[in-house]
Chains A and B, each alone.
Chain A
């Protein structure tokens, strides 16, 4: 059973385009970073001081995870001399998946801007006292949301890439 599974895995990896392998590495590490960051960082709306000891440790760990991810991407994308690394199919898939990632990012940034504008406007509409009932994002809150948006758009981009490699191209 183990041998059959190993053989299937080997065959899957053999038929996997280099760019697809990179996409898998990026998705796995981005999700790891996101899970780690958002489970350790203060909640978005209650974000405390960025310079507290706990936050520094979280940011450093994320940085180390990113470095490890880059090293693995470097190993995966290593190619023999003269080997074709990227061809027209890879370029087409890259263009389409980048568009998906960009649209995801744009959508969430528009929602974030809408949120900020809406809650700023609330003060004028319903008065400062009533507006306080609605949660507003602090500076670090916005930074946390932006980090989430960036991770989400990168994950969306690479999942789209894997989808195109598996299903459409």
Chain B
């Protein structure tokens, strides 16, 4: 899980979405703030369900938030 090949733009998107805090995003998604932090730093890969919920908060498609690289 540590060396994930999936990057995300969550930190940038939070700022672009009215300076959304990790705690606010966590509340909207239904996870803990520490999980949002772990996802942002690439330590944890969320389930599809949580990933979709995050995309829904940002009103974006999956590939606009998460990116897979070789």
Q: Which residues of A contact B (CB under 8 A)?
A: 15-18, 20, 84-90, 167-169
Contact = CB atoms under 8 A, between A and B. Distances in A.
Nearest to B2: A168
Interface in B24-70: 26-27, 30-32, 34-35, 37-38, 43-44, 46-47, 49-50
Nearest to B47: A88
Contacts, number: 43
Contacts of B37: 15
26 contacts: A15-B34, A15-B37, A16-B34, A17-B35, A84-B26, A84-B27, A84-B30, A84-B31, A85-B32, A86-B32, A87-B30, A87-B31, A87-B32, A87-B35, A87-B50, A88-B31, A88-B35, A88-B46, A88-B50, A89-B31, A89-B35, A89-B38, A89-B44, A90-B35, A169-B38, A169-B43
Contacts of A17: 32, 34-35
Nearest to A18: B32
Those 5 A-B pairs whose CB atoms lie nearest each other, nearest first: A87-B31, A17-B34, A169-B44, A89-B35, A168-B1
A88 B32 CA distance: 9
Contacts of B27: 84
Given A84-B26, A89-B32, 17 more contacts: A15-B34, A16-B34, A17-B32, A84-B27, A84-B30, A85-B32, A87-B30, A87-B32, A87-B35, A88-B47, A88-B50, A89-B44, A89-B46, A168-B2, A169-B1, A169-B43, A169-B44
A86 B27 CA distance: 12
A77 to B, nearest CB: 12
Contacts of A16: 34
A167 B32 contact: no
B55 to A, nearest CB: 16
A45 B27 CA distance: 54
B66 to A, nearest CB: 16
Nearest to B38: A169
A86 B2 CA distance: 21
B32 A84 contact: yes
Contacts of A87: 30-32, 35, 50
Contact of A90 (B1, B32, B43, B49): B32
Interface in B2-25: 2
